Amino acid sequence: MENDHSTFDTDIIPLRTRIDQIDSQILSLLAQRQEQVDEVVRLKKHHEIPVHHPAREEDLISKLRGQAARTRIDPDFIEDLYRLILSHSRVKQTRQIEQKSIRENACVLILGGSGQMGKFFSTLFSKSGYEVRHLNSRDWDNARNLCRGVDLAIVSVPIDKTPQIIYRIAPFLDPRTILTDLTSIKVIPLEKMMQAHPGPVLGLHPIFGPTSGSLEKQIIVATPGRHAEQCQWVIDQLTLWGAVMVESTPKEHDDIMEFVQSLRHFATFCFGQFLFEKNIHLKRSLEFSSPIYRLELGMVGRLFAQDGSLYSEIIFATKERVALLKDYIHSMNRHLEMLENNDKQVFIEKFNQISEWFGPFSEQAMRESTFLINKLTERF
């Protein structure tokens, strides 16, 4: 045995030395790759090209997976590795391009600049060289001066306060000033902005929280109001910072958000409330949990780690949202008969009907959720 260990210790030295050499080569190649990325950033800044190019990234991943399979390397490993490399590259590009402004010497006024989302956009505009002013509740005596020479006015206040702030600020704005809002409903704010302000109007809804850190791959819905061509530089700036812009009518936006935001948050609230009423032992339940339960419970806990007043504004924002949530509760009640009769066949029939309605998305959802579950399993 001693002789075997001695032989092993001797034989492994050149192998480890070669591995160390290869690791150095990999690091050198990554450094060379980063040099080329820096050149790409320079060109993108010069030509005002967005950071994120989804089609190119997916083509690259597909090509690398094929190459990996031909060299007997796990394609999933290569995809994970390169998605990490590409993500790092995007973040670096975004941080550098954040210094580029579409409209030089422009002035931005943020109403509600002390709030989280207001601070987030204030930082982005400031980094790109814009003059940024803030108008908060204590600053209205100075509103006229703050609005003088403003190119873009952003209303970033709670939903219930948005209409009154729009009407209050509009008289101080120059007709050429772009007026926009960041609320999660669009029909009412856009209508109020169009009524109060004769100049360019644009509705915006960032579909993310202010803790994101950057706009890289973050979705922002844009609902054009008036003089879209004059508002285009705002869209271009957000795109340059890495945002994925989705254009919509105000009604389409609000109809979809009823499900994407209001219903989802309310259903999560109900689940959390039920766990609370049953006084379930959360930590103990995680010891028995599958990764999917941990993921679902994590999303519930995430909701209750945040500001209840913010979510109440989202859930109760419109009478249409409240009506939808009532429909949801009635839909849940319709399942009582099935449970009372222990009718498994009815459950299976409904299950199959819904499964058919989901169609190919179910397979996509399985792949995406499996990816998340595997990542969660690696961490915990």
Domain layout of the chain by residue ranges: 2-97, 107-248, 253-379
Structural fold of domain 253-379: 6-phosphogluconate dehydrogenase C-terminal fold (1.10.3660)
- Rounded-to-integer distance, Cα 351 and Cα 364, Å: 18
* pLDDT of 53 higher than 90: no
Whole-number pLDDT of residue 97: 58
Q: At what angle do helices 75-97 and 54-70 cross, to 10 degrees?
A: 150
Predicted confidence band of residue 300 (pLDDT cuts 50, 70, 90): very high
Split at pLDDT 50, 70, 90, the class of 303 is very high
Inform me whether the pLDDT recorded for 50 exceeds 80: no
Q: Superfamily for 2-97?
A: Chorismate mutase (1.20.59.10)
Query: In sequence order, which residues have a C-beta less than 8 Å from that of residue 339 and are 6 or more positions away?
Result: none
The helix (H) or strand (E) run that includes residue 204 is strand 201-206
What mean pLDDT, rounded, does the chain reach? Answer: 90
Mean pLDDT confidence for 195-224: 91
Tell me: pLDDT of 272 over 90: yes
346-371 pLDDT, tens per residue?
999 999 999 999 998 998 888 888 88
pLDDT at 346: 95
- Does an H or E element contain 133, and which? strand 131-135
Full-model pTM: 0.76
Q: What is the dihedral of CA 86, 119, 109, 144, to 10 degrees?
A: 180
309: pLDDT strictly greater than 60: yes
Classify residue 184 by its DSSP letter: S
Q: What's the full length of the chain, in residues? A: 380
Residue 110: which region, alpha, beta or left (left: phi > 0; alpha: psi -120 to 50)? Answer: beta
Pick the residue with more confidence: 6 or 99?
Answer: 6
pLDDT at residue 7, rounded to an integer:
86
Identify the CATH homologous superfamily for domain 107-248: NAD(P)-binding Rossmann-like Domain (3.40.50.720)
pLDDT band at 9 (very low <50, low <70, confident <90, very high): confident
